[in-house]
Structure 1
Amino acid sequence: MRYLMFVPLLVLTVVAGARGAEVSFLNSSGSLAAELPFSEAVRVGDTLYLAGQLGALPGEMAVVEGGIVPETRQTLDNIRSTLKSHGLAMSDVVKCTVMLADISEWGAFNEVYAEFFSKPFPARSAFGANGLALNARVEVECIAAFSD
């Protein structure tokens, strides 16, 4: 019961801390095609929120061919490029959300994912989704933290 009382206090503390933080909308890595109606990343204080990335070649509106493995590799390459353009690395990622067109491809996704991240791994959620953009097999969004 004590923990349940702590959660609202923690949420209020996080929200209050973010209220005065500077917000920057960023588009600089070139990984997204031009003219999409969202920002590549948004920085709030020392936190960078990345838009979901697909396995599309930079600037193109089609995913790479070959299925889940090449799409996952391209998706994570796109994330790495976005992070790098904002002064961060894969090791700065603290949370990923993974959307798979077919949750049965989770194992194949994990094999490629492990090539890009090492211990300690970021927190992660994964779920099956119907109808990802560009008929993609995978979409990944991440949150990264700037350190002092």
Structure 2
Amino acid sequence: MKKLTAILLAAGISMSGAMAAEIERTPAGNGFPISTVVSVPSDAKTVYLSGVVPPALEDGTFAKTTEEQTVGILNTIKATLESQGLTMADVVKMQVYLVADPELGKMDFAGFMKGYTQFYGEAEGAEKIVPARSAFEVKGLAFPEWLIEIEVIAAKK
């Protein structure tokens, strides 16, 4: 009986590895391009990217709008992920820090979304697999020209 129990237990352990859970996402609904819940199994490779800020333009300045800065940051994130063998579809969590746009007097969430949906959402070539996401208005970032900073966590089975 002990041998049978040991064999069944060993078979169960080996099958559980074969049936490992995949990354699960729960869409927000209403077409909003985020997931409300992302569940990552323990055996997934997880990569944490530090906050990414707008890339400097050729003349050393920074793009002037939140949308342009968002696109620049997401292109940087995309390249960094690719260097790790990952894609934008592997992002499971995104945190966005937005500074009030001087011309609007508040964070430009609409401008952020215009840039974001070029990478996630309905735009041609945009990922349909979307991360869980939070967005915050903050008082400031390290440089006054920066309107946005984004950090992500990516995972892949």
TM-score by length of 1: 0.62
Give the C-alpha shift of residue 113 in structure 1: 0.2
Q: Equivalents in 1 of 2:93, 2:115: separation in Å?
A: 17
Q: Which runs of at least 4 in structure 1 moved beyond 4 Å after TM superposition? A: none
Q: Which one has the bigger strand percentage?
A: 2
Is 1:52 the equivalent of 2:61? no
Equivalent in 129, 136, 139 of residue 120 of structure 1: 129
Q: Equivalents in 2 of 1:76, 1:98: separation in Å?
A: 11
Q: Which residue in 1 is equivalent to 2:110? A: 107
Give the C-alpha shift of residue 99 in structure 1: 0.2
Q: Which one has the bigger helix percentage?
A: 1
- Deviation per CA, 1:37-84, whole angstroms, max 9, x where unpaired? xxxxxxxx71000000011149x9x66222212111101111001101
Comparing 65-74 and 77-86, the one that deviates more:
65-74
Structure scoring higher RCO (CA < 8 A, sep ≥ 6) equals: 2
Distance 1:63 1:114, change over 3 A: farther
Give the C-alpha shift of residue 142 in structure 1: 0.2
TM-score by length of 2: 0.59
Which 5+ residue runs of structure 1 have no aligned equivalent? 1-44
Equivalent in 132, 145, 151 of residue 141 of structure 1: 151
Percentage of identical aligned residues: 38
Q: Whose radius of gyration is greater, 1 or 2?
A: 2
Distance 1:91 1:63, change over 3 A: farther
